[in-house]
């Protein structure tokens, strides 16, 4: 019963984080929502007694992929119009 | 209007597929009969004295898949390095 | 890049070194506790991300040497494949160092044999690959702007 309540809470936070990842107009906020989603997913894997997958998910999903997304968002700027749109 | 209708129909179809797939899955916590899992659980500790059976499966019983994982990572690194290394454009 | 607050930078600088210790712990004890090569390598690769937050791109690019991570990648993959091929008289990936549970006490290499060694090798490979991906991406995004490493006023203390 207790375990089910915790799992329901974690899954609800996952759903909310997924919704906000789509809802935010700011891309950085979206990426942070995805990091929260990954963190909750790691917690859920841990509750389902798969600690190996939980460690991998926490390191990759919440740590490294967030970094890679933010680096990519920094790289993608609006093209400058005075240079004919070719300069990014 | 047509776009909205198509969207609603697609959403209903996708929901029906998801509900059907979840309904057809195994019940929670019961993966069914799996003799290979039972073999790993019974023999991994005694044969190769592996306390962590997941690592024993990844690196010993299913080592060939780990080669694939290493190859995927190496391919990703090669792609990133090919596209982005030496980021100096010719003036 | 806008400078982050000094709290964030100090905490990232502090935690980066603990991440290395935790990752090596996960890596080396992969055959006893949950973890293993991939997980430990991914945790160690978080070190570079923390350093990028703490010090900024210019100082990391001037201090960190890419050849080290190249070496990690090559050594890891080579040790992994050599250990796999050494079992070839029986089969590919034969665990030729393993001992049964009854006689596995003691010894420099634990009784699981190649599982522990391959775990360390794959951990080295994953560390090198993920760190190089982050470093290369962070350096390469300036290619499209045609400018050198930006001054980053707030990060350099």
- The whole domain housing B11 covers 2-84
Specify if B89 maps to a domain: no
| A72 near C CB under 8 A | yes
CB–CB contact A64 C46 (8 Å): yes
Q: State residue B59's pLDDT score.
A: 87
Q: Judge whether B56 and C31 are in contact, CB under 8 Å.
A: yes
pLDDT of residue C75: 93
The count of structural domains within chain B is 1
- Residue B70: inside a domain, yes or no? yes
Q: Is A71 on the interface with C (CB under 8 A)?
A: yes
Query: For residue B90, is it within any domain?
Result: no
All residues at 6 or more sequence positions from C152 whose CB lies less than 8 Å from its CB, including other chains: C1, C3, C56, C57, C58
Nearest to C112 among B46, B49, B74 (CB): B49
Q: Which residues of A55-88 are buried (b: 16+ CB within 10 A; e: fewer)?
A: bbbbbbbbbbebbbbbbeeebeeeeeeeeeeeee
Nearest CA in chain B to C31: B52
Domain boundary assignment for chain C:
6-143
Nearest chain B residue to C137, by CA: B84
Q: What residues in C contact B59, CB-CB < 8 Å? A: 36-37, 114-115, 118-119, 122
Q: Report, as ranges of residue numbers, the positions in chain B whose pLDDT lies below 70.
A: 29, 31, 86-91
pLDDT in tens, C108-120: 777 788 888 899 9
Please spell the DSSP secondary structure of A5-74, one letter per residue.
HHHHHHHHHHHHHHHHHHH-SSHHHHHHHHHHHHHHHHHHHHHTT-HHHHHHHIIIIIIIHHHHHHHHHH
- Give the pLDDT of residue A80: 52
Q: What is the pLDDT of residues A14-52, one digit of tens each?
A: 999 999 999 998 888 999 999 999 999 999 999 988 899
Determine, for residues A87 and C145 on separate chains, whether the beta-carbon distance falls below 8 Å. Answer: yes
């Amino acid at each position: 019963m207790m375990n089910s309540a915790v799992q329901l809470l974690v899954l609800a936070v996952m759903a909310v984080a997924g919704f906000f990842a789509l809802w935010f107009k700011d891309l950085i906020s979206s990426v942070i929502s995805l990091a929260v989603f990954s963190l909750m997913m790691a917690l859920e894997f841990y509750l389902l007694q798969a600690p190996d997958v939980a460690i991998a998910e926490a390191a990759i999903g919440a740590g490294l992929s967030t970094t890679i997304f933010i680096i990519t968002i920094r790289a993608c700027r609006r093209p400058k119009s005075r240079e004919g749109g070719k300069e990014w | 209007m047509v776009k909205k209708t198509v969207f609603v129909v697609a959403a209903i179809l996708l929901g029906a597929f998801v509900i059907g797939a979840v309904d057809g899955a195994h019940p929670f916590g019961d993966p069914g009969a799996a003799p290979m899992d039972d073999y790993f659980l019974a023999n991994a500790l005694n044969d190769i004295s592996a306390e962590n059976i997941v690592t024993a499966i990844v690196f010993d019983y299913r080592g060939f898949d780990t080669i694939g994982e290493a190859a995927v990572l190496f391919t990703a690194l090669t792609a990133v390095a090919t596209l982005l290394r030496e980021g100096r454009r010719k003036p | 890049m806008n400078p982050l607050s000094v709290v964030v930078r100090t905490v990232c600088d502090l935690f980066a070194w603990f991440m290395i210790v935790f990752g090596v712990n996960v890596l080396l004890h992969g055959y006893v506790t949950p973890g293993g090569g991939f997980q430990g390598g991914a945790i160690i690769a978080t070190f570079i991300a923390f350093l990028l937050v703490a010090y900024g791109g210019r100082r990391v690019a001037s201090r960190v040497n890419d050849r080290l991570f190249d070496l990690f990648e090559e050594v890891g993959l080579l040790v992994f494949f050599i250990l796999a091929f050494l079992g070839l008289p029986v089969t590919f990936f034969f665990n030729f160092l393993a001992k049964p549970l009854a006689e596995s006490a003691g010894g420099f290499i634990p009784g699981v044999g190649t599982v522990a060694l391959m775990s360390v090798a794959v951990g080295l490979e994953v560390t090198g690959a993920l760190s190089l991906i982050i470093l290369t991406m962070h350096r390469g995004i300036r290619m499209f702007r045609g400018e050198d490493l930006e001054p980053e006023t707030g990060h350099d203390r």
